[in-house]
Amino acid sequence: MSGQPAGGGPGRTRFVEHGGKRIILLDFSGLQETEHGLAAVAEARAFIGRLAPDGSHYTLTDTTGTRYDRKTIDAVKEMTVHNRPYVRAAAVVSDSSLHRAAIAMIALFSKRRLEVFDTRERALDWLATQG
């Protein structure tokens, strides 16, 4: 899962396989500019919006090294609410206590359970155990 695209370019949202599960990776890692963050969120929302809203999907959102601002947080909140009917289990990778606070706020706002991990591997392992 290396070779992450720079900026907010295409390919930040894609399927990955782990432990026999097909997981949607929302790769928001390393995003520093608001416009790149908003583009990545829009890509993720559109990707998930093309799936069946049957609550059967698993998501991993990697926010490692990302800078949030109000616009980005608002876009992520809206996307998380939008994704609720699609997602069975959601994991988030974060390397920042500030991000973790924002994630807790987003979970509360969206009425979703978002499990937070410090590495992709731990998040993937957890998602692989979800039924």
The pTM score is 0.85
pLDDT of 121 over the 70 cut: yes
Structural domains in the chain? Answer: 13-128 (3.30.750)
State the pLDDT confidence band at 8, using cuts at 50, 70 and 90.
Answer: very low
Which phi and psi angles does 109 have, rounded to 5°?
-60, -45
